Amino acid sequence: MPCWRARKASDSVRLGSRYPSRVRPVISKLILPVFLLCHTAFSAPADSFYLHPADTVVFYGDSITDQRLYTMVTELYTVTRYPKLNVRFVHSGWGGDRVSGGGGGPIDVRLQRDVLAYHPTVMTIMLGMNDGNYTNHKPEADDVYYAGYRHIVETVRQAVPGLRITAIEPSPFDDVTRPFTLQPDGYNAVLQKYGEWIHHYASDAHFDVADLNTPVVAMLKKANAEDAATAQKILPDRVHPALAGHMVMAEQLLKAWHARPVVSSVAIDAVTGKVSAEFAKVSDLKKAPLSWTETDEAMPLPFAAWLADDKDHSIAMAIKSSDITQALNEEPLRVTGLGEGRYKLAIDGTVVGTWSEKELAEGVNLAVLDTPMAAQAVEVRDLTIRRIDVHQQRWRSFQMQLEKFNTEGLDRSLKDLDALDAELAARQHAAAQPRPHTFAVVSEK
């Protein structure tokens, strides 16, 4: 299969009627250009993903992790891209936390109650935003941070010797879209210094690292050059990203985990009926008119749905200013051998786009469109959010508020909420299982 080149922004696409008309121009302009690359050049082997079947992942950190957004996108990606893995996720961020702990208790209490109690096989750590005290660099703050970070790693490793740790270089303080609050280098320089230390410590302590600072800063710079007002909305208070920023942060964590960019890849020759498919099964192919049944092994991230709610255009800006589509959301369909003209692609009877025969021969990215596969991903997203919220209430409203009373009623309630969490997780994974869809390519004539 030849390398596929990027489509022009002017390529026309008809979006499904499920999204408001006010949103469609935004999606067409910013998302529908399809980056059709040689997926063999960037696609990691299917078995190289960092997470393993039946893993338990604990996301640990401060208020940025407590937003439960980059963690939600990471969980959603995993469940939809690898629906057979059945990984368990626990979101254990606490606003204001430092390496010494914070509002949820001292660090040893936090680690025992909010990490080790879940018997994790994987742990991510993102701390640093509060440890720098929002002041210029001070060596004494470094010493506290480094010692505290080592204590976290050594404590969890002693408790779980086989624990796989991904240390996250702190996400940025936005010194890009607004003037520095600190001179001469800004506060993000302090966080970058922490990230450099984590990188070096990881080499000695043998754990993995994800950089959530450098790529987000690069995205902010690109966005700021195009539209400074919209760029400011990506990190509206300079510390806590909106969903737009968290999407790019999740991308960086997933890249560190060798995430697969390709949802599925299908190429069909309309003349010979020859089919090439990766991460998908094609059956019942008919040539006049061209139609087939396709069952993909995975689903795309629901970009179109997020953009439909993107009232301040920050998500569109973040996607446009980053490589998240190429890195996480490629679902190429290529149809060759069609006669000259324009063709409609219908999936399950609904038209999702219209292209010329040349455009279809070059390939289109279904992952950015309003398709039944994307609608299924929205089902999984909604279950993911509800499951995360149940655990948050179980932890923060019940366990944390009532544990000092040591009542049998609390124990029963916690067990019931754990059972509800497990039930929602089962529904989440069931909703992510592959479904067959009917495809048809029909001339507009």
pLDDT tens, position by position, 220-261:
999 999 999 999 999 999 999 999 999 999 999 999 999 999
CATH of domain 49-256: 3.40.50.1110
pLDDT for 196: 97
pLDDT, tens digit (0-9, with 9 covering 90-100), for 140-162: 999 999 999 999 999 999 999 99
pLDDT for 408: 85
Centre a 10 Å sphere on the Cβ of residue 149 and count the other Cβ atoms it contains.
21
Whether this prediction's pTM lies above 0.85 is answered by: yes
Does residue 379 contact residue 431 with C-beta atoms inside 8 Å?
A: yes
Parts of the chain belonging to CATH 3.40.50.1110 = 49-256
pLDDT for 11: 33
Longest pairwise C-alpha distance within the chain: 75
What HEC string does 60-71 produce?
Answer: EECHHHHCCCHH
The stretches in the chain having pLDDT less than 70 are 1-47
pLDDT for 47: 58
Give the C-alpha separation, 333 to 34, whole Å.
Answer: 11
